[in-house]
Amino acid sequence: MAGGGFVAQGGGKKYEGGVTPFVIMTCLVAAMGGLIFGYDIGISGGVTSMNAFLEKFFPSVYKKETETHHENMYCKFESHLLQLFTSSLYVAALVASFLASMSVPVYLSEMAPAQLRGALNIGFQMAITLGILAANLINYGTAKIKGGWGWRVSLALAAVPAIMIIVGSLFLPDTPNSILERGHPEKAKAMLRKIRGTDNVEYEFQDLVEASEAAKRVQNPWRNIMQPKYRPQLVICTLVPFFQQLTGINVIMFYAPVLFKTLGFGDDASLMSAVITGVVNVLATLVSVYCADKFGRRALFLQGGAQMIICQVLVGIMIATTFGTTGVGKLSGGEANFVLSLICLYVAAFAWSWGPLGWLVPSEICSLEIRSAGQAINVCVNMFFTFVIGQFFLSMLCHMKFGLFLFFAGFVILMTLFVFFFLPETKNVPIEEMNRLWKAHWFWGQYIPDEGVSGGHPFGDQSA
C-alpha cells in the first residue's frame, strides 16, 4: 500500500475506502428515480391493450380489434393518436433534459468508489426494470376488474413512485464533487470521508480538487465539449443512447401486450407474457450488477449485442413464415411459446448489456468540466429517440411488417461493431483519470493533447 490513501494498481490509482452502508442507502434512494421512468414505460403498453380504454379513447382501434376477424395483424393497432399517448411523456422528458432531468446516473457515479461504480450505478437501471415489472403486474390485475375501469387504477398508481422520489430526495446528501464546486472544501472532504468509511482520503480529495479547479477555468461546458480533445466523450454520449433506443427494446417495453396480441395471444395471455418478459428483465439486470465490474463493460456490450442479433433475426423469420406480407395467420401454441422464449432471451441480453451500460458508460466517461453537458446530451438523445420509437413503431410495423425486426437487428450489428472498435474498457478507471484511457486508444488518442494527460503511464493497451 502506498502512503496517503491510495493503492497503485495497473498504472492507475485505487483509492482507500470501500462501500459503506451510507453509500449503499444513498445510492438506493437515488436509484428510485428509475422507478417512475420504468413504471411509465410499462404501464402505457398494458393500458393501450385494454378494450375498455380503447373503446373510450380510441374507438377506431377498438373496432378493428374486436369486430374484424381477418384484419391484417400488422396494422390492427396502427393509430398515430394511440402512439402519441405512449410517446408524449418523452417529449416532456426531452424538454426537461436541458435543465436537470435524469441526473441520477451522474449522482451515482460521483458517490460510488471507482471499483464498484458499475454495480451501484446499475441500481438506476434495476429501478427501471422493477418499475416496468410492477406496471406489468398491475396491468394484469386491473384488467380483470369488472366494469372496465381498471385502466384508471393503473394510471393513477403512477403517483406512488413519484411520491417515493420526492420524499427520498429530501434525505439525499450532496456529492463531494458538488460540495466542492460550491466552494466548501472542508465539507466536501468530510463527506468524502463519510462515504468512503476512512479518514485516509487525501489523494482522492486532491484529485477532486484538481478536477474542480480545472472545471472552474471552463466557463461554458457546452462549448468545451465541442473541442477536439473531448471528441470521444461527445461521440459516445451521442451514439450510445442513440444505439440503445435503436436496439428496438422499447418495442417490447412500450408495446409488449399490444405486440403479443398482434401475434395472436389472447388478452390474458398477452398481459401475462408481458409480466414474464418483465421478470426476465429484472433477473438479467442482476447479472449486470455482478458482471459489469468483474468482466468489464466491453464484454457485456459485445455478448449482449450478439445475442440480441440472433434473437431478432429468428423472431423476424418466425413472423415472416406465419404472417407473410399479408398479416393474416396465427401462431400455433408451440410457435407462440418459441417466439416468447426468443423475446425473453432478447430482453435478457439487453438487460445485462445495453440497458444498464447505456446509462453507466456516458455518466462515467466525462470529466467534471464537461459532465453536465455530456449527461444532458446523453439524456436528450435518449429521450428523443425514445419518443421517435414510441410514436412510430405501430406505423412501422404496419408498413415494414416482419422486416421491422430485421431493421432493428441491423442497427444492433452496427452498434456492436462500434463498441468493438471505438469503446475502450472503463472498468475501475477513476472518472478524473479518463483522459489517459482515451490517449492510449488507437483512434481517440489522436484527439487528446499530451498536456491533457495526467502523470503516470496510460492504462495499458486499450485498443480494440
- Range scoring the smallest mean pLDDT among 260-264, 290-294, 331-335: 260-264
Residues 395-411 have a mean pLDDT of 92
| Helix 354-365, helix 104-111: angle, nearest 10 | 70
Q: 215 falls in which pLDDT band (50, 70, 90)? A: low
Q: 6 falls in which pLDDT band (50, 70, 90)? A: very low
Distances (CA, A) of 313 to 231, 300, 407: 34, 20, 9
Q: 417 falls in which pLDDT band (50, 70, 90)? A: very high
Q: Which three cell numbers stand for residue 258?
A: 399490444
More confident residue, 458 or 254: 254
Output DSSP code: residue 115: G
* Average pLDDT taken over every residue of the chain: 83
Residue 371 has pLDDT above 50, yes or no: yes
* Phi, psi (degrees; rounded to nearest 5) at 69: -95, -20
More confident residue, 166 or 318: 318
Residue 115 has pLDDT above 80, yes or no: no
Q: Which CATH code, of 2.40.30.10, 3.30.420.40, 1.20.1250.20, 1.20.990.10, is assigned to 21-172+218-448?
A: 1.20.1250.20
Q: Which residue reads 454495480 in cell numbers?
A: 119
Distances (CA, A) of 275 to 43, 130, 133, 262: 11, 11, 6, 17
Q: How far apart are CA 320 and CA 327, in angstroms?
A: 9
Q: In terms of C-beta density within 10 A (0-12 exposed, 13-18 middle, 19 or more buried), how is residue 443 classed?
A: middle
Q: How far apart are CA 315 and CA 308, in angstroms?
A: 11
Q: 99 falls in which pLDDT band (50, 70, 90)? A: low
More confident residue, 319 or 101: 319
Residues 372/218, Cβ–Cβ less than 8 Å: no
- Range scoring the smallest mean pLDDT among 138-142, 200-204, 266-270, 301-305: 266-270
Q: Which residue reads 496510460 in cell numbers?
A: 458
Distance between alpha carbon 367 and the CA centroid of its chain, in Å? 21
Quick one: pLDDT at residue 9?
42
Residue 422 has pLDDT above 70, yes or no: yes
* Phi, psi (degrees; rounded to nearest 5) at 15: -70, 155
Residue 98 has pLDDT above 90, yes or no: no
Q: How far apart are CA 325 and CA 336, in angstroms?
A: 19
Residue 452 has pLDDT above 60, yes or no: no
Residues 6-10 have a mean pLDDT of 44
pTM for this structure? 0.78
Strands 6-9 and 12-15: antiparallel
Residues 435-462 have a mean pLDDT of 70
Q: How far apart are CA 136 and CA 39, in angstroms?
A: 9
Residue 460 has pLDDT above 80, yes or no: no
Residues 410-431 have a mean pLDDT of 93
